Amino acid sequence: MFAMVTVTVLLLISSGIFCENEKLCSNGGTKCTHHCGKNNTVGICHGQNGNLKCECVEYKRKMF
């Protein structure tokens, strides 16, 4: 019983996370870029049609 409740809770949490990522990656990913910019990172949307997951990555510029 405990395992079933745990799995259900994890599924509900993960579906909420994916819904938030879809919102961030709609409209060309501008919300993802803005969201990640708060942490001085670059927002990249990827997944099916480029709108399933917003990922914040650190941008390192090479110095010449």
Q: What angle do CA 33, 36, 18 make, to 5 degrees?
A: 85
Predicted model pTM: 0.55
Return the pLDDT at 14. 46
Q: Is the pLDDT of residue 12 over 60?
A: no
Return the pLDDT at 27. 78
Report residue 31: phi and psi, to 5°: -70, -35
Question: Domain range holding 44?
Answer: 1-58
Q: Is the pLDDT of residue 13 over 50?
A: no
Q: Is the pLDDT of residue 7 over 60?
A: no
Amino acid at site 1:
M
For 59, the 3-state DSSP assignment is: coil
What's the pLDDT tens digit per position in 24-60?
887 777 888 888 888 888 888 887 776 678 888 887 7
Report H helices in 1-64. 2-25, 30-37
In a domain, 63, yes or no: no
Q: How many domains does the chain have?
A: 1
In a domain, 64, yes or no: no
In a domain, 27, yes or no: yes
Which of 47, 59, 58, 39 shows the shortest CA–CA distance to 21?
Answer: 47
